[in-house]
A and B are shown apart, each in its own frame.
Chain A
Amino acid sequence: MEKDVAVIGVGQSNFVRGYEGSIRELAFEAFREAMKDAGITQKEVDASIFCSAPEYDKQRSPAGVLAEYLGLIPQPTCYVESVCSSSSTGVKMGYSMIKAGLHDIVVVLGFQKMSEITSAESQERMGRGADIQWEAPFGTMMPAYYALYAQAYMEKHGLTHDDMMSVRLKSSTYGATNDRAVYRKSLTPADFDPNNPNTKLPNPVAWPLRQGDCCANADGSSCIILANAKKAKTFSKKPVWILGIGAASEAVNMASRPDFAKGLSVGYAAAAQAYKMAGITTKDLKVAEVHDCFTIAEIMAYEGLGFAPMGEGKQLIREKATYKNGKIPVNVDGGLLSKGHPIGATGGSQIRTIVLQLRGEAGPMQVAGEPDIGLVHNVGGVGLYGNVTIFGR
């Protein structure tokens, strides 16, 4: 495994519902933290990459505006988009620029102010989340798409609603310890009881998915600062290296998808590439962040990443193998389900968590045993895009 490109700084805003500021101010929160973490000034930054899902932005071409506010002009800047996986795609682009020798230090900033638009505008955009020519005319939304996978998977592999609830309960256990998360309440099975008048979590959204199976919109930003080996050694006492990168895409239209009971193909494809590049296997991993936009997505991710054979992901949550003291701790920062999902910022937030884990600086979320290798699994759309990135000390 090569150690050519490192993360030398990480930052993240609080993830909130309704950020009290503009997108440039939101972006600055993650940027400030990452720059202080790296111990550099704007003079050392050679280029910046901004990542978001543009349908939520009022600002056209945000890269220039944000680069100016962050003090990153006249350096080159650009914008990268792959919906929910935008910022891990941005990190892949930054890695490539550094590896090609174009730049020494690159800032990758993911942001999303989903409350930038009204809830009616948001509803209108949600209807155009996938193929607008052939599928949106039926009235599709994200939860319904993941529900198609959940239905097929549950029927084929015996996954239960209680299993999916267990994913959310795990998430909430760790979300309660993450000071950047939107939802910090530790949940119990009573919160999923349809006879409990004090909870909305059992309510169907797109059956078989309930409200408690779905992550929520949020506003937030994340920032990852990448450097080549020379600069990493100059500026960082604890560089965290990018050891492997995998990325894949899949047909947007459900009519062109392979077997729904097999989960998302991009998870498998991106993982295989990343493991190969890093020269490791799943057994070498000590901690992972996976894209749990819905509870079913976390179960499918276990299998795509090789933590369990196809159809057996449920065993990991039943045996608590993905808890902090389990075989492979997953989403011990609360995941998307507890942190909230500010689309363009999510990948960077996952990467920040893994970097802090590998540096031993994750505070109450820290996995024991000084983890040395961690993985980030970040999916865009309904498995439309998939990125797997492996990090090591």
Chain B
Amino acid sequence: MGFEKFGRKSFTAVTKTAKFVDFLAEGKVEGTVCKDCGAKFFPPRADCAKCFSKDMTWFEMPKKGKLETFTTAYYAPFGFEADPPYTMGVVDFGDGLKLFARIAKAIKPEDLKAGMDVTIKPLKYEDDQLSFEISKA
């Protein structure tokens, strides 16, 4: 339980990675790392795809990354109708770590450019849903 708190609207209630939401509440965006082989994963996984271990722990995602690509959605699926337009993007932290999220409203889409420095911030919506967003470095 607990994962229904994730995002603007969650579609998953039960996952072994639900602790991700507790970290968001603490202001941290965390991925998982395999205790046996050291492989890092984002989004978090409960099982290591490299060595099959289930002995995983958490690590805090890097603060600095580069925006790889982005889009502004003018239509939204059911449950998100009040939100458009909103912008989403992919951040590359290097070392094979990337992240997908919405981009903070404070950044105008016309000011976005591939390769620009960005950071990640936890986010709490007015209905107490917890998420994270891409913001200015």
How far apart are the CA atoms of A155 and B3 in the complex, in Å? 36
Total A-B contacts with CB atoms under 8 angstroms apart: 123
> Are B8 and A148 in contact (CB-based, < 8 A)?
no
Q: How many residues of A contact B (CB 8 A)?
A: 42
> Are B69 and A144 in contact (CB-based, < 8 A)?
no
> Are A132 and B11 in contact (CB-based, < 8 A)?
yes
Contact of A272 with B by CB under 8 A: no
Contact of A254 with B by CB under 8 A: yes
What are the residues of chain B within 8 A of A151 when measuring CB–CB? 69-71, 114
A132-B11, A151-B114 given as contacts; is B43 within 8 A of A141 (CB)? Answer: no
> Are A208 and B71 in contact (CB-based, < 8 A)?
yes
> Are A139 and B76 in contact (CB-based, < 8 A)?
yes
> Are A123 and B77 in contact (CB-based, < 8 A)?
yes
A255: nearest residue on chain B (CB-CB)? B98
A210: nearest residue on chain B (CB-CB)? B74
Q: CB within 8 Å of A: which of B1-33? A: 3, 6-12, 15
What are the residues of chain B within 8 A of A126 when measuring CB–CB? 77-78
Contact of A275 with B by CB under 8 A: no
How far apart are the CA atoms of A140 and B90 in the complex, in Å? 13
> Are B78 and A136 in contact (CB-based, < 8 A)?
no
How far apart are the CA atoms of A126 and B11 in the complex, in Å? 13
Contact of A204 with B by CB under 8 A: yes
> Are B86 and A139 in contact (CB-based, < 8 A)?
yes
Distance in Å: Cβ of B117 to nearest Cβ of chain A: 16
> Are B109 and A207 in contact (CB-based, < 8 A)?
yes
Contact of A253 with B by CB under 8 A: yes
| One of B68, B71, B102, B131 near A206 (C-beta < 8 A) | B71
> Are B71 and A207 in contact (CB-based, < 8 A)?
yes
> Are B102 and A138 in contact (CB-based, < 8 A)?
yes
- A residues near B (Cβ < 8 Å) are 120, 123-124, 126-128, 131-141, 143-144, 147-152, 155-156, 203-209, 253-257, 259-261
The 7 closest A-B pairs by CB, nearest first: A137-B7, A127-B77, A147-B71, A139-B80, A152-B69, A124-B78, A132-B11
- B residues near A (Cβ < 8 Å) are 3, 6-12, 15, 42-43, 68-80, 83, 86, 88-90, 98-102, 109, 113-114, 131
Can you report 16 residue pairs joining A to B where beta carbons are below 8 Å apart?
A127-B76, A127-B78, A127-B80, A139-B9, A139-B73, A139-B77, A140-B77, A141-B77, A151-B70, A152-B68, A205-B73, A205-B74, A207-B72, A253-B43, A255-B100, A259-B68
